[in-house]
Amino acid sequence: MMRDAFIGLGSNLKEPAAQLARAVSELAVLPGTTLVAQSAFYASRPVGPQDQPDFVNGAVWLKTSLEPHQLLDQLQLIEQAHGRERLRRWGPRTLDLDLLLLGDQILDDERLTVPHRELPNRDFALQPLLDLKPDLALPDGTPVAALRRQCPDNRLRKLPPADYP
């Protein structure tokens, strides 16, 4: 069964926009998966420790037959291929891939929470989702646009396409 999967992308190390562009290409060729659309990229302040560079974020919309944990495993393999190190919570990273939404799936276990737990607090995830699908809603029916209107401001700045491959 094919489901809509919305993946958040982030990076603030080693040419962040190039990291995201490469990750989009890698997501597009996952088994049982098709890339539907890619959002614009946005710059924003880091969440958590402020002693690190600003982040570049975006999102992709996939159609996938992968089960939630299979998809998570694939995302983590891509992160590792980009040199992702988990040294401190909300610290700098070469690539962060978050499974934000997966169809109408609601899941909360030791490895994965869908919808993503912090989604309502992250304008850098909500705005790219709205770029992809303006009428997108959470499984409980909450419109993503309503979450975006209530979300704390993280100084989100849309990057012109010339700033990323």
Active site residue 98: yes
Give the whole-angstrom CA distance, residue 8 versus residue 15: 17
Give residue for tokens 């990076």. 11
Instruction: Write phi, then psi, for 49 (nearest 5 degrees).
Output: -55, 130
Active site residue 3: no
Q: Which of 93, 108, 122, 135 is catalytic?
A: 93
Active site residue 96: yes
Long-range CB contact pairs, 67-74, < 8 A, 24+: 68/99, 68/102, 68/105, 68/107, 68/112, 68/114, 69/111, 69/112, 71/5, 71/30, 71/99, 71/102, 72/99, 72/111, 72/112, 74/30, 74/31
Q: Which of 3, 22, 84, 148 is catalytic?
A: 84
Give residue for tokens 């419109």. 143
Active site members:
84, 93, 96, 98
